[in-house]
Amino acid sequence: MSNPCTEECTFQGEPALRLTAGALEATFVPGAGMTGVSLRYRGHEFLAVPGGIEALRAGHTGGLPLLAPWANRLSQLRYRVGSTEVHLDPSGLKTDDNGLPIHGLLVGRPGWVIERCATRRTSAVLDASRDIDAPAFPFPHRIEVRITARDGELHVTTTVTPTGRRRVPVAFGWHPYLRVPGAPRSSWVLSLPTREHLLLDDLGIPTGATEHCAAESLPVGRRHFDDLYALGRTRRLSFGTGAPDTEGPGAPGGGCTEVELRCGPGYDFAQVWVPPRRQFAALEPMAAPTNALVEGSTPLVAPGEQYRAEFSLVLSAPWAAAGP
């Protein structure tokens, strides 16, 4: 086991920062959207980065990207917050196959400032910040990220602080591309807590209809998931080769390999995306539901206040020692 440390490194030729604590190593690239590009535990990789650094720079998601100032997609190219109406220019935005704005403004973008790298007795910490004030989001604010690595756990705190006179709508999220090292898709199990399923239309936009879902563990196999949930009291979602009790603690080390997303304060929603025939799954913590910016249902942060949200990725693996 390594003592906690932070160090400069490179990822596919790009300057990066690596946090190490115990058997966990987490690597982030500040110049490409402050994206996490590697999450290794006991020598095994738990993040997928389809297309590598070039895809990130082109605005494609991969690894562990922050989606801000909105996560997921918007149903149209305009929205209103109070008396401020915003018209979006699609030429400067990432859009989906239907031409809808998706994933906000920061994926793959530079502009992050490293505020601090530090070590504690059992953890390594990275603080970074970025100011946002753009025609597509004219609500000046600072977004701060604190990344804490502990043995077997990555904890991420995101804070929004208004820097102007306007209230700031909050709709950010993270989009971890998770993999189960060495496990075929046929062995994957998706475990979800009690929740409300927010039904989506063919464009991936909430219809307003909901259905209650009990806690369950679902074999993945050839199934495809693309679902939005409002979370309840228990906010733990997991993906791996075992089926832990989703209403209680995870099952660390019990012979299974698993990533558990623990959504803390500030994350009331989560998207689950498991595309067909791909070797990753996304469990996405979100501060607001898809299209909340258009619907006017986001939290609003007034000048002098802050919005803070926290999540953790907790890794379980049966390997006794590090290996390639």
DSSP secondary structure letter of residue 182: T
Listed as ranges, residues in the chain with pLDDT below 50 are 243-254, 320-324
Q: What is the pLDDT of residue 319?
A: 65
pLDDT tens figures, 120-146? 999 999 999 999 999 999 999 999 999
pLDDT at 318: 76
Structure token pair of residue 33: 């959207």
The CA distances from residue 139 to 105, 160, 167, 286, 296, in Å, are 13, 11, 7, 19, 15
Domain 2-316 has CATH 3.40.50.10210: no
Q: Which of 190, 189, 176, 179 is nearest to 279 (CA)?
A: 179
Write down the pLDDT at residue 92.
Answer: 87
What is the per-residue pLDDT for 221? Answer: 92
pTM above 0.85, yes or no: yes
